[in-house]
Amino acid sequence: MEQVLNRFCLDGSPVSCERYGEGHINLTFLVVTDSGRRYILQRLSRAAFSDIPGLMRNVTAVTEFLSARNSDPRSSLHLVPTKDEQTWCRDEAGEYWRVYDFVEDSLCLQTPESPMDFYQSAVAFGRFQNQLRDFPAETLCETIPNFHNTPDRYRKFHLAIEADTAGRLAEVRSEVDFLLAREEEAGTLQRMRDRGELPVRVTHNDTKLNNVMLDAQTRLPLCVIDLDTVMPGLVAYDFGDSIRFGASTAAEDEKDLSRVEMNLDLFRTYAEGFIPACGGLTAAELMSLPLGARTMTLENGMRFLTDYLEGDHYYHIAYPEHNLDRCRTQLKLVADMEQKQEQMDTVIRRFLT
């Protein structure tokens, strides 16, 4: 680690480097130097990203674009260059590393501590969407092809079922059946995208609450982080993924499913923050938002189960059934959202002018 850190232009010498945060994909460390400066060091996931130089070009372009439009330095992530002026380096084992300035005096929440926190996260993601409206989408590489292409996710799920690599299929039959019963309907958003009924924009695609920073004092939005999946996509993906995670009444890996529901008040709160901050959404886009919530939740449930069937090579896990527990909360949420579809539509209809 010291050798890796030595390649970056840090202020001072590192005095500690410890695992940090709750991300499922990259390996994240908090680095402190003898000058008191703090940094985020990350080893990028080669299981998730096949073109890491391309990904880093995306992140560089997006952070530079946002920095140029905001005077507050904490309103965007800042990459720390290497001594040979690159934004990343590679170690002898072939792993890719990068360093960000630590966003100081900030909060990164795993669950909203109040509806206002969730509202402010919605403002952050909505603004992010709005600010990237003029970003040249064609310059972005697709860091994970077909990331939110739900029919393609089903194709991979079928392959995982057939292969049953980890020998776990028999124990997850009811989860598999739940997902297969919804295969046709789950492709609706993708079909609307294919038919051009929903505009493709530059979206974040991974809008969990722990991918946004709030100011520790004011609890107002500071910046959006985890820019690895910024790609062309649908607004419904960003809205939907935030609801999936932040409007749930329990953690993503809650074992007691009786505690897992989608909170309609939080759904409304998020819509009130996100939609005006985004601005300029079409009527079709607005009415696709509840479907986005259901689709992102189902897709995540299927992705967790696919990884479980394949032997857990994609997400970080803390114990063997972790991905299965995550899958189960998502499916419980989907079932609940199916019951609340009408109410979600009613909330969103108020934003049609």
CA gap 3, 163 in Å, rounded: 40
Percent of the chain that is helix, strand, coil (3-state, to 5): 50, 15, 35
Which is closer to ligand ADP, CB of 225 or CB of 234?
225
Among 98, 168, 201, 208, binds ligand GN1 (CB under 6 A): 208
Among 26, 76, 203, 205, binds ligand ADP (CB under 6 A): 26
Least distance from C-beta 71 to ligand GN1, angstroms?
28
Specify the stretch interacting with ligand ADP by CB under 6 A; choose among 97-105, 249-257, 267-275, 319-327.
Answer: 97-105
- For helices 52-69 and 115-131, give the axis angle rounded to 10 degrees: 100
Q: State both tokens at 253.
A: 């890996």
- The contact pattern for ligand GN1, residues 40-59, with x = CB under 6 A and - = no contact, is --------x-----------
Q: State both tokens at 275.
A: 């939609």
Specify the DSSP class assigned to residue 81: P
Q: How far apart are the first and last CA of the chain?
A: 55
Burial per residue of 195-226, b for 16 or more beta-carbon CB atoms within 10 angstroms, e otherwise? eeebeebbbbbbbbbbbbbbbeeebebbbbbb
Least distance from C-beta 208 to Mg ion, angstroms?
6
Least distance from C-beta 180 to ligand ADP, angstroms?
29
**Which ranges constitute the DSSP H helices of 2-149?**
2-5, 52-69, 115-131
Helix (H) or strand (E) holding 295: helix 283-309
Among 7, 24, 193, 201, binds ligand GN1 (CB under 6 A): 24
Instruction: Check binding of 328 to ligand GN1 (CB under 6 A).
Output: no
Instruction: Check binding of 81 to ligand ADP (CB under 6 A).
Output: no
Specify the stretch interacting with ligand ADP by CB under 6 A; choose among 25-33, 80-88, 131-139, 168-176.
Answer: 25-33
Specify the DSSP class assigned to residue 8: B
Specify the stretch interacting with ligand ADP by CB under 6 A; choose among 101-109, 135-143, 187-195, 230-238.
Answer: 101-109
Specify the stretch interacting with Mg ion by CB under 5 A; choose among 99-107, 191-199, 211-219, 299-307.
Answer: 211-219
Least distance from C-beta 45 to ligand GN1, angstroms?
7
Instruction: Check binding of 112 to ligand GN1 (CB under 6 A).
Output: no
Backbone angles phi, psi at 35, to 5 degrees: -90, 0
* Chain residue at closest Cβ approach to ligand ADP: 23
CB 43 within 8 A of CB 27: yes
- Residue 118, helix vs strand vs coil: helix
- Residue 119, helix vs strand vs coil: helix
Instruction: Check binding of 211 to Mg ion (CB under 5 A).
Output: yes
CB 4 within 8 A of CB 30: no
Among 129, 131, 211, 330, binds ligand ADP (CB under 6 A): 211
For binding to ligand GN1 (CB under 6 A), which residues are involved? 23-25, 48, 206, 208, 211, 226, 228-229, 241, 252, 300
For binding to ligand ADP (CB under 6 A), which residues are involved? 20-26, 28, 40, 77, 100, 102-103, 108, 210-211, 225-226, 228
